[in-house]
Amino acid sequence: MLYIQMKDKTIKDKKIKDVVPAKKKAIKSPSDKPFFADKSWKIKDKIFKIKIADLLNETGRQDEIVFEHKFSDQLPHLDDEGIAANFTVQSLDNTSLLWTLTDVTARFHETCDSCGASFMRSVDVPSYTARFVFEDEITKKKESVETEEVVLYIDPKAETINIEDMVVQAILLNDPFVKRCDACTKRLETIDDEDDLDEFQSKWNIIFS
């Protein structure tokens, strides 16, 4: 877009006289710094929807999707590189798709639960599988919702699926209960099992029968 300002407002024969370029103002980022000077302020790709109409129409068809630099609001501590992964999809029939997530990688800003230091935690998920179906098909077939298989739903109107929940679930399943930095992890590895057990002393006389 060309920014202009009028040096002389006189108009003759519908032509603007003495038009000179105006000075373009730098776009401001949320941190009130020029956009081009703030490398940390950038648009994050949070789109996980995929069109699947063609796949449903070709039973047995397989496709592969590779993505990187994806972000989710459900994972607020992701670093600036986001999530990278490979997806393989197979059309089972005209109502369901089998999706396999492989080689997912991500890094998170964490705080060590032992020493309180800040550190980066890496996540690597070798494989995670889910089946996408139409919700009414589950009702018709009376499939148990308690099955171990991960089942997610297809949007019937838009003929799309949203793989965000699948990606997030795969990552959170690898989320450790206790998060420790490398230094604390190495220190704990040197502690013998017996020494570790001696640290805990029960305050109650509990008898298991």
Judgement on whether residues 48 and 38 belong to the same structural domain of the protein: no
Residues 72-104: tens digit of each pLDDT: 999 999 999 999 999 999 999 989 999 999 999
Residue ranges making up the domain that contains 177: 44-189
pLDDT score, position 188: 85
pLDDT at residue 139, as a whole number: 62
Looking at the fold, whether 70 and 157 belong to one and the same domain comes out as yes
| Inside any domain, residue 172 | yes
Instruction: Output the 3-class SS for the chain.
Output: CCCEEECCCCEECCEECCEEECCCCCCECCCCCEHHHCCCCCCCECCCEEECHHHHCCCCCEEEEEEEEECCCCCCCECCCCEEEEEEEEEEECCEEEEEEEEEEEEEEEECCCCCCEEEEEEEEEEEEEEEECHHHHHHHCCCCCCCCCEEECECCCCEEECHHHHHHHHHCCCCCCCCCHHHHHHHHCCCHHHHHHCCCCCCCCCCC
Mean pLDDT confidence for 10-23 = 44
Q: What is the pLDDT of residue 70?
A: 95
Q: Domain check: are 64 and 167 in the same one?
A: yes
pLDDT at position 189 is 82
Query: Does a structural domain hold residue 195?
Result: no
At 125 the pLDDT is 95
* 36 and 48 together in one domain: no
Residue 194 lies in a domain: no
Residues of the chain with pLDDT > 90: what percent? 50
Using 50, 70 and 90 to split pLDDT, how confident is the model at 165?
A: very high
Q: What is the pLDDT of residues 110-141, one digit of tens each?
A: 999 999 999 999 999 999 999 999 988 666 66
* Average pLDDT over every residue of 35-49: 62
Q: Do both 68 and 16 map to the same domain? A: no
Q: What is the pLDDT of residue 148?
A: 72
Question: Within a domain: residue 203?
Answer: no
Q: Which of 11, 27, 42 is the last residue of a domain?
A: 42
Does residue 200 lie within any of the structural domains? no
Residues 7 and 51 in one domain: no
> Looking at per-residue confidence, does 101 or 21 come out higher?
101
Residue 196 lies in a domain: no
pLDDT category of residue 45 using cuts at 50, 70 and 90 = confident
Q: Give the total number of structural domains in the chain.
A: 2
Task: Tell me if 170 is assigned to some domain.
Answer: yes
pTM of the model: 0.67
Average pLDDT (53-81) is 92
In a domain, 201, yes or no: no
Q: Is there a single domain that holds both residue 185 and residue 137?
A: yes
% the chain with pLDDT above 70: 66
Identify which of 142, 137, 169 has the alpha carbon closest to the alpha carbon of residue 153: 137
